[in-house]
Amino acid sequence: MIIGNGVWVILPEFLLLFGALTTYTFGKVGRPKGSWYTGGIATLFAIATLGVLISAIPAVQGGESLVVTLNPSGIALALTPLALFLGCTGTALLIISCCYSIRYLEGGEGTEKYYALLLLMAAGVLGIGLAQDLFNMYVFFELMSIASFPLVAYHTGTWEPIKAATKYAIMSAVGSVTALFGISVLFVYAGTLELNGIGPALNLVAPATMPGLVLISGGLMIAGFGVKAALVPLHTWLPDAHSAAPSGVSAMLSGIIIEAGFIALIKALIPLFGQTTHVSFGLVLALLAVLTMCTGNLIALQQRDLKRMLACSSIAQVGYIMLGFAFGMGLYGQGTELGFTGGLYHILGHAFMKGGAFLCAGALIYSIRTKNIDEMRGIGRVLPFVGISYTLCILALNGMPPMTGFISEIFIARAGIDLGGVGLLFVSVMLANIVLSIGYYVPSINTIMFSEEQGVKVTGVRPVPRLMQAMILVATALIIILGIFPQVGLAIVSPAAAYLYHQFFPV
């Protein structure tokens, strides 16, 4: 039953799902096909969803959640501060991506499927935040994954997207089945999958089996959800999939989908956390984070394809986010709330930094029809707006003040320093990685903006449409606003961080 406040929980999810249906129907029956209005309808639904979510901010500001129980057995959706954060970030990026794709895909076939799938993907992201039991979270996780496979393979006539999507789909399917096995192990021992109910139910389990149970279940869930979050041994699908997808989809995939996968992993670890002293999830995640950021930066150094380079840098950025969460969970014992703040702020910033960078890359590829950085020499002088925006996004990714990447990296580093001990070591590795990442960020800016000689194709470029430029402007403006006025971002990040901290360390 939906009464009063419950409508704020159901309405955003409903708007996205209903929007997918409406977009598809209108795109199918409307004439002419593949026209701008499919994108327009999708954008309108996304704006409405963001509006509802923003108007719900005051209700959850104090840290309490709005809960809707769907049936007597206790399956519930709750608009927690974390769900609100994930929903706001995802939907804002969805608006930018939908609006951008209107001109980017103009004249193409099958746009109604494209926008419907984009909305379904965003519905999955929001649902991961809303779900209050592990199985429902898995269902939304799968909704997000399944919608993203066809989007990567959107240009079905060419080999690269099909190959990337097949690889992505197979790895992701194996990963989600593995994660579900971890969830099922929890179900065998706890008999319930509610996030708040598992912990008390596990108290009945014999203490001798506890370390093994936590190790098996947690290990399977880290490995399973880790495929989506691009933890390092499982990241191999990411450079292919993110570079082969249409640029609007790449922005969504890098900006929010891998982070949503990571949030799913964190939510799945909440009931297992603190059950045994033999396993420190914070330390495990911190080690994986170091591996992830080093590998991501090192493989990004060798890329000559602009979108592949950005995709590899996403792996490194997920490493920074993971390190923040690991500090939040504590390496040994008590963690620090600042770590969650840093990780979540980096998710928020990264959505627009990497989203913006991918949109700029898309605009450059749209006008010059090549992905190779070397052939883009000097294009920034021909397309100054896109060039300057690209420079700003890349500098923000590199953690240059006054952009948003700087703020979140300061938070994460401060959290590590507060923890002390091994935390300092991890912080120094992160700083070394930030320095290392200059090695590919700055040369790409140099080639695109400041190259004296121009590439062969640079002279006859297509102009970039106004709507695409406007969306790039929105993303760039958000980066700078979130960097100069952190309190804007902290308005949704701080409650979410406090919520997560209290989930891990109940008072």
- Residues 218/189, Cβ–Cβ less than 8 Å: no
Looking at the Cβ atoms of 146 and 283, the one nearer to other proteins is 146
- Residues 349/489, Cβ–Cβ less than 8 Å: yes
Looking at the Cβ atoms of 107 and 157, the one nearer to other proteins is 157
Q: How many residues of this chain bind other proteins (CB under 8 A)?
A: 40
Least distance in angstroms from the C-beta of 302 to other proteins: 16
* Contact code string over 210-249 relative to other proteins, x by CB under 8 A: --xx--x---------------------------------
Looking at the Cβ atoms of 191 and 463, the one nearer to other proteins is 191
Q: Find the binder of other proteins among 5, 6, 59, 142 (CB under 8 A).
A: 142
Does residue 203 interact with other proteins by CB under 8 A?
A: no
Enclosing H/E stretch for 158: none
Residue 383 three-state SS: coil
Q: Find the binder of other proteins among 156, 203, 302, 446 (CB under 8 A).
A: 156
Give residues with Cβ within 8 angstroms of 18, minimum separation 6. 45
Least distance in angstroms from the C-beta of 155 to other proteins: 11
Does residue 463 interact with other proteins by CB under 8 A?
A: no
Q: What phi and psi values does residue 77 have, to the nearest 5 degrees?
A: -115, 140
- Interior CA angle at 135 toward 131 and 139, to 5°? 75
Does residue 284 interact with other proteins by CB under 8 A?
A: no
Q: Find the binder of other proteins among 58, 62, 159, 420 (CB under 8 A).
A: 159
What's the 3-state SS for 203-251? CCCCCCCHHHHHHHHHHHHHHHHHHHHCCHHHCCHHHHHHHHCCHHHHH
Buried/exposed 186-203: b ≥16 CB within 10 Å, e otherwise? bbebbebbbbebbbebbe
Choices 92-100, 208-216, 323-331, 467-475; region in contact with other proteins by CB under 8 A: 208-216
Does residue 1 interact with other proteins by CB under 8 A?
A: no
State how far the alpha carbon of 49 is from the alpha carbons of 12, 88, 101, 349, 493, in Å.
5, 9, 19, 20, 19
Does residue 131 interact with other proteins by CB under 8 A?
A: no
Give residues with Cβ within 8 angstroms of 184, minimum separation 6. none
Does residue 146 interact with other proteins by CB under 8 A?
A: yes
Least distance in angstroms from the C-beta of 204 to other proteins: 7
Bridge partners of residue 22, in order along the sequence: none
Q: Which of 204, 161, 134, 439 is nearest to 302 (CA)?
A: 439
Choices 29-37, 79-87, 148-156, 225-233; region in contact with other proteins by CB under 8 A: 148-156
Q: Find the binder of other proteins among 7, 10, 162, 279 (CB under 8 A).
A: 162
Question: Which residues within the stretch 47-76 sit at the binding site for other proteins (CB under 8 A)?
Answer: 73
Choices 29-37, 40-48, 87-95, 159-167; region in contact with other proteins by CB under 8 A: 159-167
Looking at the Cβ atoms of 142 and 418, the one nearer to other proteins is 142
Report helix angle 337-368 to 486-504, nearest 10: 130
What's the 3-state SS for 61-121? CCCCCEEEECCCCCCEEEECHHHHHHHHHHHHHHHHHHHHHHHHCCCCCCHHHHHHHHHHH
Does residue 150 interact with other proteins by CB under 8 A?
A: yes
Least distance in angstroms from the C-beta of 46 to other proteins: 24
Does residue 139 interact with other proteins by CB under 8 A?
A: yes
Looking at the Cβ atoms of 37 and 189, the one nearer to other proteins is 189
Give residues with Cβ within 8 angstroms of 25, minimum separation 6. none
Interface with other proteins (CB under 8 A): 73, 135, 139, 142, 146, 149-150, 153, 156, 159-160, 162-163, 165-167, 169-170, 173-174, 176-178, 180-181, 184-185, 187-189, 191-193, 204-206, 209, 212-213, 216
